[in-house]
Structure 1
């Protein structure tokens, strides 16, 4: 398979993990209050959810592509719109809307596992993220390519998890995040808007040509 496609799948997996959200804030709180070992345990459990939602997302994306380009283009537009919605919301966030408050847990792996597999936003965000980054390579999204795409995404998860574990061990991280949390969230919003534009640019022309 084309190396660039695998790189995009890995990037989608990494961005999926690293973008600030409930899981990011949870591991930040656990890591800052209990250390890197606890954050590693949480992320190890959460990885199960990451893989689950990614498999489901890629199944939906490849299935849509297999049915026909029209369905895939519709999915691309829907995902682009969803990412645009998330991005605009993040750009408009105000102080007090989000908080990183840490919390303790004696079973970080179990907490991460439950958090990962029960997060209702896991599936739609995964579908939107992978669609946005892989829309330009739609012809390569086949069932035969699925195992390699999943492995590439898994590699992206691991890299992102290592980065998060490293970050949670830094002294003063909690204070820095609380001071600049709004700007971090807004930067994430801008990133989501960029992904949305990419997804829409790849999908809208196909729909327009079929009108």
Structure 2
């Protein structure tokens, strides 16, 4: 793979990662509840899930999803259910959402943030379709294992780098402190956003199944 081809792939990956959606909401929600460490855990786990999806896409999972609309819809329903779980979790914890300092973040809190970051990406079947379209110009029949590994590492690494940058910029710019002062309202807005996304995703899935 030439440098020019890789740069074009990297640019597409950056633009895809920058598109706002439920993943950004989950990463920001993790940061608000657990501080910078939790935000970074969610960001890195999200990148890992995206990289895993890229690996599965290269192996042919995306082709299966595009030929099986019902499987696609069932995965969408699973994603919608997880969004509802995250929303209810945010509402339950709104009274105790003041983020701790990084020195007091527990392992359980980091594990929960990482789990949420991973699952919100892994339960998004649109990623497979996106990657099928994204990788189509870059995969050839004579392509070696190294070139395919580079594809996977590129999209997973760029995704993790983007969300990590978002977390660090919010912390360093002082915007996180402003959000913390209104943490209860932010938590409610976060939950409402997740519920709206869940309804939207579920409605599309049901429309496919009926």
Q: TM-score range by the shorter chain?
A: 0.5 to 0.7
Report the aligned-residue RMSD: 4.5
> In the alignment, what sits opposite 1:37?
none
1:145 aligns with 2:145: no
> In the alignment, what sits opposite 1:19?
28
> In the alignment, what sits opposite 2:140?
none
How many correspondences in the alignment? 180
Structure 1 pair 90/74, CA: closer, same or farther in 2 (3 Å)?
same
- Matched ranges for 1:37-56 at <5 A: 43=40, 48-56=44-52
Whether the 8 Å CA contact 2:23–2:120 is kept in 1: the answer is no
Whether the 8 Å CA contact 2:46–2:118 is kept in 1: the answer is no
Query: What secondary structure does 1:193 align onto?
Result: helix
Question: Structure 2 regions of 5+ residues with no counterpart?
Answer: 1-7, 137-147
Q: TM-score, normalised by structure 2?
A: 0.60
Alpha-carbon deviations, 1:26-56, whole Å to 9, x = none?
3179xxxxxxxxxxxx94x876533212223
1:169 aligns with 2:155: no
Structure 1 pair 13/186, CA: closer, same or farther in 2 (3 Å)?
closer
Q: Which moved more, 1:161-170 or 1:52-61?
A: 52-61
Q: TM-score, normalised by structure 1?
A: 0.60
Q: 1: distance between equivalents of 2:195 and 2:173?
A: 30
Question: Structure 1 regions of 5+ residues with no counterpart?
Answer: 30-41, 106-110
What is the Cα deviation at residue 77 of structure 1?
Answer: 1.2
Q: 2: distance between equivalents of 1:185 and 1:70?
A: 34
What is the Cα deviation at residue 183 of structure 1?
Answer: 1.5
Structure 1 pair 150/194, CA: closer, same or farther in 2 (3 Å)?
farther
